[in-house]
Amino acid sequence: MDLQEVFAARYSVRKFAGKAVEPEKVQSILEAGRIAPTAKNIQPQKILVVQQPEGLQALGKTARLYNAPLALVVCADTEQSWKRPFDGMDSGQIDASIVTTYMMLEATRLGLGSVWICYFDPAVVKREFNLPDHIVPVNILALGYKADGAEPSPLHFSRKPLSETVAYEKHNW
């Protein structure tokens, strides 16, 4: 699959088959995240791989995982992440999200489905997984094989035209 094909194949999967993801595929997904760009190349991501029933159940207390057999909790280490000197902007969440994007696209290339999840209470994730204060859970990437009947939601087919989101040189926002 070339990149355009990966883009075209990806959609948020919310119906997973129970089948486990092979360890080589998990490794390949993690490797894609490893080579993602991050601010100042600090690589402040910390990724918790959750595939045991206890862990999935713990995550399920705060996040809907759609029966996914694998969840990657992508965190930012705020003790390491780059802070922009002008305004203190912490790049940790951006970095974690680029890593998540790379992993999501690699999962698609490997024939897996995924859904990116931010609707969770970080305090619950921190508590359940005993994360120290400086490790902030940013995204959960739920992964697995698509179940029969999985299909894109209507939102997948709704994207704004570029004319609404892009301006050349001058804008009227």
Ligand X SMILES: Cc1cc2nc3c(=O)[nH]c(=O)nc-3n(C[C@H](O)[C@H](O)[C@H](O)COP(=O)(O)O)c2cc1C
| 119 lies in the site for ligand X, by CB under 6 A | yes
Minimum CB distance to ligand X smaller for 39 or for 117: 117
Give the CB-side neighbour count of residue 63, counting CA atoms within 13 A: 33
Name the region of 66 (left: φ>0; alpha: ψ -120 to 50; beta: rest): left
| 8 lies in the site for ligand X, by CB under 6 A | no
Tokens 């970095």 map to which residue?
95
Task: Compute how many residues bind ligand X; rule: CB under 6 A.
Answer: 12
| 74 lies in the site for ligand X, by CB under 6 A | no
| 65 lies in the site for ligand X, by CB under 6 A | no
| 9 lies in the site for ligand X, by CB under 6 A | no
Stretch that binds ligand X, among 39-47, 75-83, 86-94, 110-118 (CB under 6 A): 110-118
| 118 lies in the site for ligand X, by CB under 6 A | yes
| 115 lies in the site for ligand X, by CB under 6 A | yes
Residues 70-103 as b/e (b if ≥16 CB within 10 A, e otherwise) read: bbbbbbbbbebbbeeeeeeebbbbbbbbbbbbbb
Estimate the crossing angle of helix 122-129 against helix 53-60, to 10 degrees. 150
- List residues binding ligand X (CB under 6 A): 11-12, 14, 115-119, 152-153, 155-156
